[in-house]
Structure formats: structure tokens, C-alpha cells
Amino acid sequence: MAAPDKNLPDYERLGISDRKTPIGPLLAIATVASVLGIALGLLIDWFPIAASEQAGPIDTLWDVLIICSVPVFVLVSTVVLYSVYRFRQRPGEEDKDGPPIHGNTRLEIIWTTIPAVMMLALCVYAYVVLRDIEDAPAKGTKTLNVRVVGEQFTWTFFYKGGDGKDVASPQLYLPKGTPVKFTIQSKDVIHDFWVPAFRLKIDAVPGIDTSYRVTPNREGRYPVVCAELCGLGHAVMRQTAVVMPPADFDAWLTKKASGDEGAAGGGTAAGAAPGETDGKTLFTGVQPSCGSCHTLADAGTTAEVGPNLGESLKGKDEAYIRESIVDPGAKLAEGFQNLMPPTYGETLDPAEVDALVEYLLEQAKG
Ligand code: CUA
């Protein structure tokens, strides 16, 4: 076999000089694919309903990222797929080891510079968006401070009552249209406080305070989730954020604050209807609800995170049931680890605990 002619370009020595790269058709394919990809990317409903003023700029940022990244993805995939097909090994070429090719300096500079410039521009844009939406509200604007405490496996939300005392709630209540500053803390491991409808989230780290601001702008109930793997109960570390008219919120906070001081009537301690003392209603109404982890036929719940109460409570007495609610780690049903929030003793009214105990005692007998 004759030595390859050193003067020929690589593709000539490869014997593929008769087949030119079809730049035109490839560009057409890439353009059509990019347009379709961008259209699809913008049409897909990626996010849950937006319920904060901060959500708009974040969703726009996302759309811009889609518009910038789809063409890059399409370009790279087109070149890769084309090359895989075009330069595939053909019969008889099994022992060949293509010609030695030195890189193409100009090409390398281009494909390093363009992505670097794009990345830099997008980083600056993202930084500006984040800084803008976290700007402190103008002086004199009323801001609500909420301290969010995470622990295995629940969130507790602390408000300042009228007399400056902490008011604890297992459910997040917020007034519509008021800027809120969350200060996030953890009692044990790293959690992550996230209300997807507000878009922002941040880690809850033991020993330090983290924070962010949102302004809820849509009434409704939205999930609060933990977004950092924090142990076996991570998936059930879910509660509810309720955005309500400011007047309703003020009424709730006032009532809650007085309830905690032992005034008659109590508050809506656990998020169920005010003054609710029906055990069955509380079973599914408290936050986080008993029914979201436990099966109990009478209450119509079927979750399997914790023991099936229809079975595990059979023959148990009142003291055992009460302890299981307020100190869930004390005695564990066989085969279960303790994933239950340890906070029910504090966040439920005594009357609510009594009602739950009474209801579960009936079930234990039945
Ligand atoms: Cu807390 Cu995951």
C-alpha cells in the first residue's frame, strides 16, 4: 500500500473527498429543530401557579435560558449525530486508525469564546434578577417577619404577636400584598425551605440564619416543601402556605396570639377550622395532617409512611395514644423508625390533643 500523500488534507487521505459536508441542509435542519425546541420549551408549563411578585421575573429568566440553550443543544447534537453517521466505520476499516489530526485552533477559540460569553451574560442577568427581587422594600413599607424553623420532619412558623411574644404556627399564613421576610433556621440537619408557588428557596442550616423576601400576591393554598434530603421523613416534610386577605390575616394573628396566652377558645393552633374539636376532622385537618402518613379506615386515609393506626392502636390505652402524639419517639411500632414531627404537643391546643386522643381511643377499641 502506498504511503498517504502528506500534502492532501485529512479528508482527502481518508478517502472521503467525494462526499462534501452538506452545510446548507444541516443548517436548515438545525434551524427548524431550534425553532421547534424553543416553541416547545416556552409552551410547556414548567412551574406551578405563580403566587408572588418575585415569580414573574424568575419565570422570564427561565424563558430566556430556554431560548439561549435550545439552539446550543441543537447545534451540538446535530454535529454529533451527523459525525457519528458520516464518519462511521465501514466494512474493511476495522484495523484502520484514522489519520493523525492536530486540533483546529481557530475552531477551538470560537467554541470556547461563544459559550464563555453566553455564560457570562446569563450569569450577570441572573444575578441582577435575583438582586432586584430581593431588594428591601422602600422605607416605611410594612414588612412581615416570619421565622421558619425546620427540624426532622416538620416546619414551624413563628410570628411576633402584638406584645412581641413569639407565636408558633404549624401552618404558614401570609397576608396578600405584604412583603414578607423569612428568617430560616434549622434545629438539626440541613433542610431547604421552599414554596414552589413563590419560586424562591434557601437552605435551612443549623447554627446560621438564612433569609429571603417574597411578596405573596395571590390568595390561595400552596404547598410548602423541604427541598434538601434530610432523612427518612424528607418526603413527608410538607405543609401548607395560606395566602389570605390582610384583614383576615390580622384577625388570625391576633386570635392566635391571645390563644397562646391561655385565653378561652384557643386559636386555630393546627390549621384546622377555628375551635375545631372533632377528632376525626382534626385527623385530616391538622398540619402536617395525621392522615398524610397514617392509614385509618374510619378517616378514609390510606398513607403508609407510618403505622396503620387501625392495626397498631388495637387494644392500646389512652396514655399510650397521648404519648404517641406528643412524644412520638417514646415507643415505636415494630418495624418503624420515628419520622413523626415532635411538635404536636406544642402546636396543638390541649383541647385538640384531647379530641384526637378521644377519637383514636374509639378507633383502638372498635
Ligand atoms: Cu427536611 Cu428534607
pLDDT tens-digit series, residues 148-157: 999 988 999 9
Highest mean pLDDT (candidates 60-64, 78-82, 88-92, 358-362): 60-64
Residues 126 and 14 in one domain: yes
Q: Are residues 82 and 186 in the same domain?
A: no
The number of distinct structural domains making up the chain is 3
pLDDT digits (tens, 9 = 90+) for 94-127: 888 777 777 888 989 998 999 899 999 999 999 9
72 and 159 co-located in one domain: no
- pLDDT, residue 12, reads 52
Split at pLDDT 50, 70, 90, the class of 187 is: very high
The three three-digit cell numbers of residue 9, written as one number: 488534507
Residue 273 has a pLDDT of: 52
Place of cell 492532501: 8
Nearest CA to ligand 1 atom 1: 191
Confidence of residue 189 (pLDDT cuts 50, 70, 90): very high
Q: Which atom of ligand 1 is nearest to the CA of 152?
A: 1
pLDDT (0 to 100) of residue 263: 36
Query: Cα(154) to centroid of ligand 1, in Å?
Result: 8
Rounded to 10 deg, the angle between the 318-326 and 350-365 helix axes is: 130
Residue 289 included in any domain: yes
The residue that leads in pLDDT, 118 or 141, is 118
Choice between 178 and 352, residue whose per-residue pLDDT is larger: 178
Closest to 74 (Cα-Cα) out of 121, 40, 106: 40
Please give the residue that has the higher pLDDT: either 209 or 236.
Answer: 209
Looking at the structure, do residues 14 and 130 belong to the same domain, yes or no? yes
Q: What percent of the chain stands above pLDDT 70?
A: 89
Cell 417577619 belongs to which residue?
145
How many angstroms does the Cα of residue 155 sit away from the middle of ligand 1?
Answer: 9
237 lines ligand 1 (CB under 6 A): yes
Give exposure, 235-252, as e/b (b: 16+ Cβ within 10 Å): ebbbbbbbbbeeeebeeb
Which residue range is the domain that position 361 belongs to?
Answer: 279-365
Residues 222 and 283 in one domain: no
Q: What is the pLDDT of residue 14?
A: 54
With a 6 A CB cut-off, is 294 part of the ligand 1 pocket? no
- The single-letter code of the amino acid at 219 is E
Q: What pLDDT is recorded for position 1? A: 45
pLDDT for residue 262 = 40
Who wins on pLDDT, 206 or 257?
Answer: 206
Task: For ligand 1, say whether the CB of 236 is within 6 Å of any of its atoms.
Answer: no
